[in-house]
Structure 1
Amino acid sequence: MLNDLSVFLLAAGMMQAALLSVFLLLPSNIIQVSNRLLVIVLLTLAAGFGELFLYGSGVSFLHPNYAYIGTLISLLQPPAIYLYTRSLMYRHFRIRPAHAVHLIPFATGLIVFFTLYVPLSDSAKITLLQQQDLPGMPVSLPLALAYHGVFLGWLGYSLRRLRSFNSDIQHLYSDIARQQMLWLRFLLSSYSGLWIVSIICCLFFYLFRLTDKTSWVLPVVSIAGFSFINTLLVCALRQPAAFMGLTQADEILLENIQPVKAPQLRGAEQVDKVAEFMHRNQPFLDSTLSLSQLAHQLKLSPHDLSAIINNGFQQNFFTFISEYRIEHAKKLLAMPEDKRTILDIMYSSGFNSKSVFNTAFKKQTGLTPSEYRRQYL
């Protein structure tokens, strides 16, 4: 049964998910695809919390026909998380008929539910619930493993696409701190970790049938679920103001981003042309500089400039610009008469993120900005 803490956390989690869903369904918010998908994620979380609440309070034993509804609905959650991730990465992302393939786990769950569970008598269903080792998990080990596999599979694929996205944006932007969506990677990684722990617990309890050792499960799941949903709410609500995703033009450019021969002039001449422009005009001091903007200044196409940087400089756009910014910062840090703080110098050199600046500086010089400056004092 539930203790007071579990009751509060599960009820609070359901209430938060429901209230935010209502907020996101307002006409001014629902127009965004990412908000619609977030509503699905929140409602599936609420359904999962509800099933745990009903099981822990004993209501499931009074109405066994509805005992696994939350588990069934939650099969929509992993695909919704994946599509939500895609909607944040790409500004013009839309739900298409092809995405119906993501409903396969839910459809399979419906078939299992209506063919194996619904036909049972109420007494048989109650007996099944009493044999349940872990709340919210199917009694059958194969079904429990398949259930975990759905979550881990879609979460893993979401993380893989996110890593690929973070690599792609380095070909397009010089300021990647906002575009990287590190909060989402952290959230997905943490959630995946919870499911890995869950599948280990499932194997342990199912194999050893430790039904009298599971009293801690509901409180722990309640705390983890409450923490996850609050982190999701804070991060998701902040995200739209930070980055709206890649444009269609960015996507088209990325499709042809692989190194190719530099156009028109010989490769060395093109490299010299770009290097001379960088030293003379210092466009890297613009913290928002993108590949398209620099290409416009050089009177080149973004595709051609990308090929020159990749072939001639053997770098992606982000690293290419960062090196010029670091060299500029090094000159300022080496001037004893310059009394500006390191943070001011960072901004003056074109960086917007302290962590990105420190990482790039350390990688290029082997020293932190403070250590480098002390050499010239």
Structure 2
Amino acid sequence: MDKLVLSFNDIPLILVIFQSLLFSILLLTANLGRRQANFFLAMFLLAIGLDAFDSLIYWSPSIKVAYLDGAVHIFYWLKFSVYLAAPMLFFYVKSMIDPDFKLHWRYAVHLLPLLLFPLFIIGLYTSLTPEERVLGITQFGLLYKEPVFQMHLWMRHFLYVGYGIGCFYLLFQYKNRLKQHYSNIENIDMFWLQMLIGGFLMIWVWVFISYLLTLLNASQWIGNLIGISGNVFSFVFVNALVLYSMAHSTIGYRRVVSEEEKSDAPEPEKYDPLIMTKLNQLMKDKELYLDPEFTLEQLAEVSEIPVRKISAAINRDAGQNFFDYINFHRVQKAAYILASRNGKTSMLDVMADAGFNSKSTFYRAFKKFLHMTPTDYVDQLNRKN
């Protein structure tokens, strides 16, 4: 048997392979967090590991010679991993932001590329002679000339980048739906999930750039540098993804009505223009916004108006979501407190007395509705006095 010699470039890939496998087993066997989310994350990591293995065996001549001499098919069939990884990340994010998420037949479209992968193999094998299939293992240029293989490469990059962007869009939708129901969303920690999705998206865009440079016949060392750094980033983010997901496995994401559920709901009743009048009067008389955790459902209970009618009225008449509607009243209260106390009260006290429990939300809302910071507002009051 030929001596196995590993290069420095192989080490990050080997680490990604073993870590992905070990973490997948851990997620599937550990009784921690949500089982469904763990399953999707395990499948994603397993696919990432297989993708790294596919890269390792192709670009490491010593491994080909030492262990895979004559094993032609593995170099082609392993390329299914991208078609599994991308949708699994999407399902993982869905299951993290929606505790009630369940796979439905309509989600089968995400697995369609994976199901069609055998057709790619048939097409590739048909376009290559048996001798060319063997040569393709060492002569990548031969595969580059094949339209079927080129289609796979483009699909690979579009799936990774597209699903990475799609996961960000899921978080964006979730945050917007939260604002339709809650007046405080600061205790919902989505930052770690955004950073991790962003990390993998950065890797995939980075590798895509390397592919484009190859097509443009750019300097080979630039492409190699991008490829090697992409492997190192993969190693870092595989670790980060699992560690952060386990650390945040007990975080309770708030359930909100999904777009699918909205489509199945009955049409709203006839619009009543007096709803906003009643809501504004309640805010003035009872100052319901002073409760930092005030929700749309609580407002519906106090006002005895259905949730759908309140939400529609706030969206239509005020041009706001529930989050902004409540924080607008809190800002008005904060401005009144600052004016009545001549700016002698600390901002933290003003914030708390107006119903805010987050300094960042307080400052953002104040600047959004009064177009200045609380400090500038106090300075303006002092100049008038």
1:151-189 CA distance string (max 9 Å, x none) = 233333333343333222221111133458344344434
Find the counterpart in structure 2 of residue 26 from structure 1.
29
Is the aligned partner of 1:177 residue 2:158?
Answer: no
Alpha-carbon spacing, 1:178–1:10, altered in 2? closer, same or farther (3 Å): farther
- Name the structure 2 match of 1:16: 19
Report the equivalent of 2:97.
Answer: 89
C-alpha distance after superposition, 1:226-261 (max 9, x if no partner): 233234234433444334342569974687699875
Q: What is the number of residues matched between the two proteins?
A: 369
Alignment partner of 1:113 is 2:121: yes
CA distance in 2, matches of 1:288, 1:254: 28
Q: CA deviation at 1:319?
A: 0.8
Measured in 1, the distance between the counterparts of 2:12 and 2:351 equals 43
1:221 matched to 2:230: yes
Bigger shift: 303-312 or 193-202? 193-202
Match of 2:376 in 1: 371
Normalization by structure 2: what TM-score?
0.80
* 1:55 aligned residue (55, 58, 62): 58
8 Å CA contact 1:171–1:306 kept in 2: the answer is: yes
- Root mean square deviation, CA, Å: 3.6
Cα pair distance change 1:194/1:175, threshold 3 Å? same
Aligned to 1:45: 48
What's the offset of the Cα at 1:220? 1.0
Q: Does 1:146 align with 2:155?
A: yes
CA distance in 2, matches of 1:193, 1:279: 48
Q: What displacement does 1:67 show?
A: 2.5
Q: Which residue of structure 2 lines up, in the alignment, with residue 355 of structure 1?
A: 360
Asked if 2 retains the 8 angstrom alpha-carbon contact of 1:259 and 1:311, the reply is: no
Distance 2:28 2:64 in 1: 30
- Tell me what 2:285 maps to: 280
Q: Helix, strand or coil for the counterpart of 1:328? A: helix
TM-score (norm 1): 0.81
Q: 1:332 to 1:235 in 2, by over 3 A?
A: farther
Q: State the SS of the aligned residue for 2:250.
A: helix
User: SS in structure 2 opposite 1:215?
Assistant: helix
- 1:99 equivalenced with 2:107 (yes/no): yes
Q: Give yes or no for contact 1:91–1:244 (8 Å, CA) kept in 2.
A: yes
Contact map agreement 1:173 1:291 (CA 8 A) in 2: yes
User: What is the CA–CA distance in structure 2 between the aligned matches of 1:273 and 1:212, rounded to whole Å?
Assistant: 68
Identity of aligned residues (%): 24
Looking at structure 2, the residues matched to 181 and 220 of structure 1 have their Cα atoms a distance apart, in angstroms, of 27
CA deviation string 1:12-41 (max 9, x = no partner): 333433333223213634853222111111
Instruction: Tell me the residue number matched to 1:75.
Output: 83
> What are the equivalent positions in structure 2 for 1:127-146 lying under 5 Å apart?
127-132=135-140, 140-146=149-155
1:309-348 mapped onto 2 (5 Å cutoff): 309-334=314-339, 335-336=341-342, 338-340=344-346, 342-348=347-353
Preserved CA contact (<8 Å) 2:210 2:223 = no
Whether the aligned pair in 2 keeps the contact of 1:253 and 1:302 (CA below 8 Å) is no
- Deviation per CA, 1:91-127, whole angstroms, max 9, x where unpaired? 2111234433322211222332355359978864453
Q: Does 1:155 align with 2:160?
A: no
One-letter amino acid of the structure 2 residue matched with residue 150 of structure 1: L
Matched residue type, 2:100: H
| Structure 1 residues 10 and 294: CA distance shift in structure 2, 3 A | same
For structure 1, the 5+ residue unaligned runs are none
Per mean C-alpha deviation after superposition, the further-off stretch among 310-319 and 58-67 is 58-67
User: What is the letter of the counterpart of residue 85 of structure 2?
Assistant: Q
Measured in 2, the distance between the counterparts of 1:209 and 1:312 equals: 56
**Closer, same or farther in 2 for the Cα pair 1:364/1:258, shift >3 Å?**
farther
